[in-house]
Chain A
């Protein structure tokens, strides 16, 4: 099995990003939308890794670590918002019902 070339990695990243975005757009469950966002973030991180491997530069991996921490923070905030909504008396996780801010 040959080592994955950067091109392959980029292809995989694109695929992952599309899956994640599709999840965000199609899913109505807030938890699953959050997970889809994680997938998109990881796709972006993979693209950085691939770029770092292509040009033999350390910045790619640095950016990966950065995105990792960003994802953790984002997950924490997102989950906190969901918990807050829940404690405010919204029993459902359906994102489409939270549309009271429409213009």
Chain B
């Protein structure tokens, strides 16, 4: 029964996607919404049933397996399409279906007057199905199917409003940049396959533990890290994420905040014994995380577009998860993944509600004073911001970030200091956004109301963003370790907690950040214009990685392409075509239409043939 539910959870949104795509856009809005949100809701329901069953009577092997079919079977290699439910995929399943359902519900309200709503829900449900394949797969090759599936859905949805060239360019950029990582990842998978003869996760990890880590394993780990870095928008392949905000806001909430971008984190957590056996890979993961979280937080400090603030904030928070992975605090990474999914989806959806009501403006300096006009959205945004900043005790973000900081402290106090600096910047940039958008003079008069169908997901996620952290607390506050205990069969016992003053530092820094933000951007004396010095401009452009890549890679490549446009290979095919054309011209002249000339050719041919035949 349980093993049967597993493929059903995937099949439900997949089927919905099929129906929605096959309707070829003729499906009216209401059925589209019902099919889209309903199918994911059904999946969420089955996921909850499955999770309750799993927690009440855990399977003896620690995981539930459902092998669908054998994909390929050749000498020395085999691959299966197989699903598995272990504690890690259980957590991911609940996040993907639960948050996914809330966002799709919100999208019903957000997209209700869009003419292409059926296509929208088709892509969204297909995304959920692909993401579920990704998290359920017990074979890395079928995980790769999900990995590519979410990539293509991301591409389709960023470019959803495809009549605008900028959106299409953004979609292409996201696809190409993540593809660079995907290519690296595929190479890494093939390298692992040559070692283990299969890509079954258990067997691959078995090889890691039985054979000492060698150069080949290290290269494979780094290639996989490349894939994870591109998918999760970490330095140096992070440039696609801010542009991906061109998509509709529910897309940003679901794909570019809550689920898809955390796939890299999931991949590393899934293969953690491989990474743990290679210390230099672990250091690389931690450093990538730290650099990303600081750079992205710096960029978020000076953005003017509300969605771009949240995009850089997403990069920064996933940087925290990478830092946790790199320091071996696997539980902390997954915990932060979960709480981040709650509060970042909430922030995006609240931002979407604001954008809808201020005539599709996204510049925070054009908003201002919205707290009175939309108190409900303000409360939701404030809850999300508090969770993101990590307001002590009250919010989910505090507990998960605290766990990461503890892990960083155990690995290296320098990492801890960097992460703390990031936490300080996080509190500043998100409350800068809050103070500028909701306080002070009003620049744009909001219109309409936020409908119930959009408000319900906001309320649910606000509650989760505040209370979701209570499943895991430091011993100093309350000895609750629900998530660690759930994940411990996979990841081992969590690290011991550090000294008490770490907790105090982690609590006071966000408060200090909020204080600084209040001093700088409070309504009466604060600045109300974007900063315009050279550093701010550099940070606003995402530290100019785009320009760098343009000069280093894109331009040489296009120049090479132009040079190569009339290359020798083209000449070869051109020559063939020219020969055929010339021959046609010559022999075409024989077709004069004169019957007598034809008869003459026939006679001449006969004479030649006779001469050849009679020749002694």
**Which of the 9-residue segments B170-178, B533-541, B585-593 touches chain A?**
B585-593
**A96 touching B588 in the complex, CB below 8 Å, given contacts A21-B603, A25-B603:** no
Q: How far is the CB of B608 from chain A (nearest CB, A)?
A: 15
| Interface of chain B residues 577 through 608 with chain A (CB within 8 A) | 587-596, 599-600, 603
Which residues of chain B are within 8 angstroms of A101 by Cβ–Cβ distance?
591, 593
B593 touches A98 (CB 8 A): yes
| Interface of chain A residues 55 through 103 with chain B (CB within 8 A) | 95-96, 98-103
A25 touches B589 (CB 8 A): no
Query: Considering the chains assembled together, what is the distance between the CA atoms of A28 and B595 in angstroms?
Result: 9
Query: Considering the chains assembled together, what is the distance between the CA atoms of A96 and B593 in angstroms?
Result: 8
B591 touches A103 (CB 8 A): yes
Chain A interface residue number, banded: 10 to 19
Query: Considering the chains assembled together, what is the distance between the CA atoms of A39 and B587 in angstroms?
Result: 31
B596 touches A95 (CB 8 A): yes
Q: Select which of B590, B599, B600, B603 is within 8 A of A103 by beta carbon.
A: B590
B592 touches A99 (CB 8 A): yes
B592 touches A24 (CB 8 A): no
Q: How far is the CB of B47 from chain A (nearest CB, A)?
A: 71
A28 touches B592 (CB 8 A): no
**A25 touching B596 in the complex, CB below 8 Å, given contacts A103-B588, A103-B589:** yes
B594 touches A99 (CB 8 A): yes
Which residues of chain A are within 8 angstroms of B587 by Cβ–Cβ distance?
103
Query: Considering the chains assembled together, what is the distance between the CA atoms of A95 and B590 in angstroms?
Result: 17
Q: Select which of B589, B593, B596, B603 is within 8 A of A28 by beta carbon.
A: B596
Q: Select which of A21, A25, A27, A99 is within 8 A of B593 by beta carbon.
A: A99
Interface string of A32-71 (1 = CB under 8 A from B): 0100000000000000000000000000000000000000
B593 touches A24 (CB 8 A): no
Q: How far is the CB of A94 from chain B (nearest CB, A)?
A: 10
Query: Considering the chains assembled together, what is the distance between the CA atoms of A28 and B597 in angstroms?
Result: 11
Q: Select which of B589, B593, B599 is within 8 A of A100 by beta carbon.
A: B593
Q: Select which of B588, B590, B591, B600 is within 8 A of A25 by beta carbon.
A: B600
Q: How far is the CB of A102 from chain B (nearest CB, A)?
A: 3
Query: Considering the chains assembled together, what is the distance between the CA atoms of A100 and B596 in angstroms?
Result: 14
Query: Considering the chains assembled together, what is the distance between the CA atoms of A96 and B603 in angstroms?
Result: 18
Which residues of chain A are within 8 angstroms of B592 by Cβ–Cβ distance?
99, 102-103
Query: Considering the chains assembled together, what is the distance between the CA atoms of A101 and B591 in angstroms?
Result: 8
Q: How far is the CB of B586 from chain A (nearest CB, A)?
A: 11
Q: Select which of B591, B596, B600 is within 8 A of A102 by beta carbon.
A: B591
Q: How far is the CB of B44 from chain A (nearest CB, A)?
A: 70
Of the candidates B587, B592, B595, the one having the most CB atoms from chain A within 10 angstroms of its own CB is: B595
* Closest residue of A by beta carbon distance from B587: A103
Q: How far is the CB of A59 from chain B (nearest CB, A)?
A: 21
* Closest residue of B by beta carbon distance from A103: B591
Which residues of chain B are within 8 angstroms of A103 by Cβ–Cβ distance?
587-592
B591 touches A24 (CB 8 A): no
A25 touches B599 (CB 8 A): yes
Which residues of chain B are within 8 angstroms of A100 by Cβ–Cβ distance?
593
Query: Considering the chains assembled together, what is the distance between the CA atoms of A25 and B595 in angstroms?
Result: 9
Query: Considering the chains assembled together, what is the distance between the CA atoms of A35 and B302 in angstroms?
Result: 99
Query: Considering the chains assembled together, what is the distance between the CA atoms of A76 and B593 in angstroms?
Result: 23
Which residues of chain A are within 8 angstroms of B589 by Cβ–Cβ distance?
103
Which residues of chain B are within 8 angstroms of A98 by Cβ–Cβ distance?
593, 595
Of the candidates A24, A95, A96, A103, the one having the most CB atoms from chain B within 10 angstroms of its own CB is: A103
Q: How far is the CB of B291 from chain A (nearest CB, A)?
A: 70
Interface string of A11-38 (1 = CB under 8 A from B): 0000000000100111110000100000
Query: Considering the chains assembled together, what is the distance between the CA atoms of A28 and B596 in angstroms?
Result: 8
Which residues of chain A are within 8 angstroms of B590 by Cβ–Cβ distance?
103
Query: Considering the chains assembled together, what is the distance between the CA atoms of A25 and B599 in angstroms?
Result: 7
Query: Considering the chains assembled together, what is the distance between the CA atoms of A21 and B589 in angstroms?
Result: 24
* Closest residue of A by beta carbon distance from B589: A103
* Closest residue of B by beta carbon distance from A27: B596
Q: Select which of B588, B591, B595, B600 is within 8 A of A95 by beta carbon.
A: B595
Q: How far is the CB of B187 from chain A (nearest CB, A)?
A: 55
Interface string of B17-57 (1 = CB under 8 A from A): 00000000000000000000000000000000000000000
* Closest residue of B by beta carbon distance from A37: B599
Q: How far is the CB of A45 from chain B (nearest CB, A)?
A: 18
B591 touches A96 (CB 8 A): no
10 shortest interchain CB distances as A-B pairs: A99-B593, A103-B591, A102-B593, A103-B588, A102-B592, A95-B595, A101-B593, A24-B599, A102-B591, A99-B594
Give 11 A-B pairs besides A33-B595, A103-B588 with Cβ atoms closer than 8 angstroms: A25-B600, A25-B603, A27-B596, A28-B596, A33-B596, A96-B596, A98-B593, A102-B592, A102-B594, A103-B587, A103-B589
A-side residues, CB < 8 A to B, are: 21, 24-28, 33, 95-96, 98-103
**Could you write out 23 A-B pairs with CB less than 8 Å apart?**
A21-B603, A24-B596, A24-B599, A26-B596, A28-B596, A95-B594, A95-B596, A96-B594, A96-B595, A96-B596, A98-B595, A99-B593, A99-B594, A100-B593, A101-B593, A102-B591, A102-B592, A102-B594, A103-B588, A103-B589, A103-B590, A103-B591, A103-B592
